[in-house]
Amino acid sequence: MNNIIIKDNHIKNKKFLKQLQKENLWNKFPKFNWWDGWWKSKAKNPLEKFIEYSWKEYSFCKQMAGFEYWTNDYSDNRGLDWHNDKDERIFQTTGKIIKPEIGSVFWVTVKNIEGGYLDLSEQNGFTRVDPIENRFLIFNAGNFHRVTPVIRGFRRTFLINLWKEKPKTFKDSNHVTINCIPAKVLV
């Protein structure tokens, strides 16, 4: 089995969870974002507050450059094929794969879901993780993983990668929309 940590009922403060579930919050952010972490700068938005809430207990974080974060919504038979997280700008320009140290997924909203599983690659197959609202999963995002198509329902995830060095994706700005996706979107 992959080295993973699963925390169900991750956010205990229901008011904070409701704040994260508000639709208008997710429309405000560019596709990919960067934050240097609480040890370098104060959280500027609820998503960075979530990162601090979720990662502050891990002392190794302060040895990292910071956090890349974004969101994915899936419904209507959409999924994401096998891929690994990487510095997208480096990959686009050189084909070289530079991976984050570790990553996480938080299921913000899950409604009437069938499908939409997160599969994590293993040497002899994969581990399947159910999409459950308010579940937080830490895993090696540099390893191959996928999202199976959502047969019905809706799932919104908040994704965070920790990096030892700031990815070149954020060379020009801490908030970017890049013209690529890490893998084939399944429609």
- Residue-level pLDDT, tens digit, the chain, 187 residues: 458 999 999 999 999 999 999 988 888 777 889 999 999 999 999 999 999 999 999 999 999 999 999 999 999 889 999 999 999 999 999 999 999 999 999 999 999 999 999 999 988 889 999 999 999 999 999 999 999 999 999 999 999 999 999 999 898 888 887 654 444 444 4
Number of domains in the chain: 1
The CATH number given to whatever domain includes residue 100 is 2.60.120.620
Pair 67, 167: CB distance under 8 Å: no
pLDDT averaged over the chain?
A: 91
Domain of 136? 5-186
- CA dihedral defined by 136, 141, 146, 152, rounded to 10 degrees? 20
Structure tokens at 140: 């090696």
Point out which residues pair with 67 in neighbouring strands. Answer: 35, 162
